[in-house]
Structure 1
Amino acid sequence: MSNLERHPAELVAECEAADAGGITLLEPRDVPLGGPRAMPVHRTLPQRKKSTIGGWCFLDHYGPDDVSITGGMRVPPHPHTGLQTVSWLFQGEIEHRDSVGSHAMVRPGELNLMTAGHGISHSEDSTPETTVLHGAQLWLALPDAWRDQQPFFERTVPTPSRIGDAVARVFIGELGGASGQATVFSPLLGAQLDLDAGGSVVLDVRSGFEHGILLDLGDITVDGVEVPHRHLAYVPPGRTDLHLASVGGARVLLLGGEPLGEQIVMWWNFIGRTHEDVAESREQWQHEVIDGTDASGRFGTVAEYPGRPLPAPVMPTVRLKPRE
């Protein structure tokens, strides 16, 4: 998914110090996802309180949306560098196309993972059969050693498993004896958990991981702390278990990972390490794709897409630099 903001803010993210084991509630920010009717998304990462959770650096939660009202998802070809996109649906269907030749449908319970690495372009459109769209779009920052990885796409289907009073779909990493098969480049965890009404579960987790729990549906407490709808509960490293409980039942996304430990610069759809990284990526996208037709360039072209690619916003007038 593209960040369709017309004036995307510069973000410099770095590993933040944990606070004595406390849980922080991160409130979502409402963002229109472009288009004439502007499908709304609710963004909990990145923000000033917390920029990353492990390698997870971007989280948009959306729906359930009636596409007859919102227009659904219509995201023309756009570029990415230095990251992986993680598409996870609860309801609906999205058609994915990219410049390495992938053409796939994103469906509920199936992970679609696109590794941008050095550079890729892709499009995402909800299908004509979709009446309700509901899901999450996430990005993973690639460690510096892997951020020029050649781009590729993969799809995996996690097998549901029961952990106490919850059904888990582990799409990245390991949890409760289940393992995701997706290719990632740092120690990570990603899972959907469905808790029974009146249920609770104690999750054994890695103490070196920080975690985030996003409430999608129902009600949930994390170690006794109530998490409001669409909010992300941040749990710093140091825990060996997490206690989740629900009165009426809940569906959550559980994210985790070792703190990235690297400074990253995020702007629009690019992740780099310096101002020059981002400026060069933008210039190449504009020159190769928007102003020309260089299918052999860094970002390639999305074949058979019935529309124009998305121009990049204008770069900020000041140099992108770390915030104090």
Structure 2
Amino acid sequence: MSNLERHPMPRTCTDDDAPGIELLTPRDVPLGGPRAMTVHRTLPQRSRSLIGAWCFVDHYGPDDVSTSGGMQVPGHPHTGLQTVSWLFSGEIEHRDSIGTHAVVRPGQMNLMTAGRGIAHSEFSTSRTTTLHGVQLWVALPAEHADTAPAFEHYEPQSVTVDGASALVFLGMLAGTTSPVATFSPLVGAEITVPAGHATALDVDPSFEHGLLVDTGTVTVSGQEAKTAELVVCGTGRERITLQAGADETARVLLLGGAPFGEQILMWWNFVGRTQDEITTYRQDWQRERDGSAGSGRFGSLPPEWDQTLPAPVLPPVRLRPRS
């Protein structure tokens, strides 16, 4: 998914190693034009930029696409990251500049590695009546930032953990391991907890974890959270408890990873380390989408695309680290 903010703010992202628990509330961001669907963004924000290598968390829906228009994101670029698409309802069609054409459905993961550069589009399908899911970004470590672009599709099998059910799409949890390779230690899983039930998750104490609430009210190791809120648990915890409300099944996403240990600069859809890199990525994309002689960074744009997104204008000042 693209960041469609008209004036994206540059962010220099560092680890926040503060122990304990934080509650992050979302801000609403329109995705597209006059009939835009709204996404609820909890990461990045001023108080925290990263959870492990997870650097971007958008939650959306459930949306009636006849009202919202669904997801309509034309071709756009990415660098230095991986995108993770995960749905609870609906379908999204994906095309990219390395020749991938795929549809993601509930309980399935699309993982796209941008590496040195890729472009993709995302549209909800005509079969979709209700669209509901998350879009996540993972920052690539500097040594892998220029890796070759790639795409993987994975459908995990449900496992039971302390009375709850889990779909582990990245990393290891509850005795099951995703076969999908990552470039830094990560975990990603959908957890469904029955109404009134408490579930204890054994987790890696070297990880920091985020619990994103999709449905219901959940108390995460003593911190209550509601839909689209994100509870962050610092490193050093071997167990995280999830208590569902008495009247409704709760569904959360567990996102975790080892503290990233690097600074990254995020602007629009690019992750880099310096302003010069970001400037180069923007110039390359503008030239390639306009059909000018470019670097070829973003591959072969699919012939099915009748439009692509232009990059916003960079701020007229030097991008500086955010304290």
TM range (shorter): over 0.9
Aligned to 2:32: 34
Could you tell me how far apart the structure 2 residues matched to 1:302 and 1:94 are? 19
Could you tell me how far apart the structure 2 residues matched to 1:284 and 1:129 are? 35
1:203 aligned to 181, 197, 201, which one?
201
Match of 1:311, SS state, is coil
Alpha-carbon shift at residue 185 of structure 1 (Å): 0.3
Aligned to 2:286: 286
Aligned to 1:310: 309
Tell whether the 8 Å contact from 1:274 to 1:321 is kept in structure 2 after alignment.
no
What TM-score results when the alignment is normalised by the length of structure 2? 0.97
Could you tell me how far apart the structure 2 residues matched to 1:111 and 1:84 are? 12
Q: How does 1:230-241 map to 2 (within 5 A)?
A: 230-241=228-239
Alpha-carbon shift at residue 236 of structure 1 (Å): 0.6
Could you tell me how far apart the structure 2 residues matched to 1:44 and 1:282 are? 25
Could you tell me how far apart the structure 2 residues matched to 1:105 and 1:271 are? 25
Aligned to 2:165: 167
Q: Which runs of 4 or more aligned residues in structure 1 lie more than 4 Å from their structure 2 counterparts after TM superposition? A: none
Which shifted more, 132-141 or 301-310? Answer: 301-310
Aligned to 1:273: 273
Aligned to 1:183: 181
Match of 1:69, SS state, is helix
Tell whether the 8 Å contact from 1:157 to 1:171 is kept in structure 2 after alignment.
yes
Could you tell me how far apart the structure 2 residues matched to 1:122 and 1:275 are? 23
Match of 1:201, SS state, is strand
Alpha-carbon shift at residue 321 of structure 1 (Å): 1.7
Q: Deviations over 1:155-200 (max 9, x none)?
A: 0110100001210000000001011121210000000001111211
Could you tell me how far apart the structure 1 residues matched to 2:228 and 2:119 are? 29
Aligned to 1:323: 322
Could you tell me how far apart the structure 1 residues matched to 2:293 and 2:98 are? 16
Aligned to 2:58: 60
Structure 1 residue runs without a partner (length 5+): none
Match of 1:87, SS state, is strand
Aligned to 1:101: 99
Could you tell me how far apart the structure 1 residues matched to 2:301 and 2:39 are? 25
Relative to structure 1, the CA distance from residue 119 to residue 239 in structure 2 (aligned partners, 3 Å threshold; closer, same or farther) is: same
Match of 1:312, SS state, is coil
RMSD between superposed Cα atoms in Å: 1.1
Aligned to 1:76: 74
Tell whether the 8 Å contact from 1:83 to 1:139 is kept in structure 2 after alignment.
yes
**Structure 1 letter corresponding to 2:83:** T
Alpha-carbon shift at residue 304 of structure 1 (Å): 3.3
Tell whether the 8 Å contact from 2:200 to 2:239 is kept in structure 1 after alignment.
yes
Q: Deviations over 1:127-164 (max 9, x none)?
A: 01111000000000000010100001010110100001
Tell whether the 8 Å contact from 2:216 to 2:226 is kept in structure 1 after alignment.
no
1:217 aligned to 211, 215, 218, which one?
215
Could you tell me how far apart the structure 1 residues matched to 2:223 and 2:41 are? 21
Tell whether the 8 Å contact from 1:213 to 1:232 is kept in structure 2 after alignment.
yes
Aligned to 1:255: 255
Count of residue pairs the alignment pairs up = 321
Tell whether the 8 Å contact from 2:186 to 2:258 is kept in structure 1 after alignment.
yes
Q: Deviations over 1:4-45 (max 9, x none)?
A: 0110011110112313xx211000010000123111000000
Which shifted more, 221-230 or 140-149? Answer: 221-230
Aligned to 2:243: 245
Aligned to 2:15: 15
Could you tell me how far apart the structure 1 residues matched to 2:84 and 2:121 are? 14
Tell whether the 8 Å contact from 1:80 to 1:119 is kept in structure 2 after alignment.
yes
Q: Deviations over 1:213-271 (max 9, x none)?
A: 01100121111221122100010101010011112320000000001000000000000
Which shifted more, 278-287 or 217-226? Answer: 217-226
Match of 2:283, SS state, is helix
Alpha-carbon shift at residue 292 of structure 1 (Å): 2.7
Tell whether the 8 Å contact from 1:290 to 1:311 is kept in structure 2 after alignment.
no
Alpha-carbon shift at residue 74 of structure 1 (Å): 0.5
Match of 2:276, SS state, is helix
Could you tell me how far apart the structure 1 residues matched to 2:311 and 2:17 are? 34
Structure 2 residue runs without a partner (length 5+): none
Sequence identity percentage: 57
What TM-score results when the alignment is normalised by the length of structure 1? 0.97
Could you tell me how far apart the structure 2 residues matched to 1:274 and 1:306 are? 31
Alpha-carbon shift at residue 293 of structure 1 (Å): 7.1
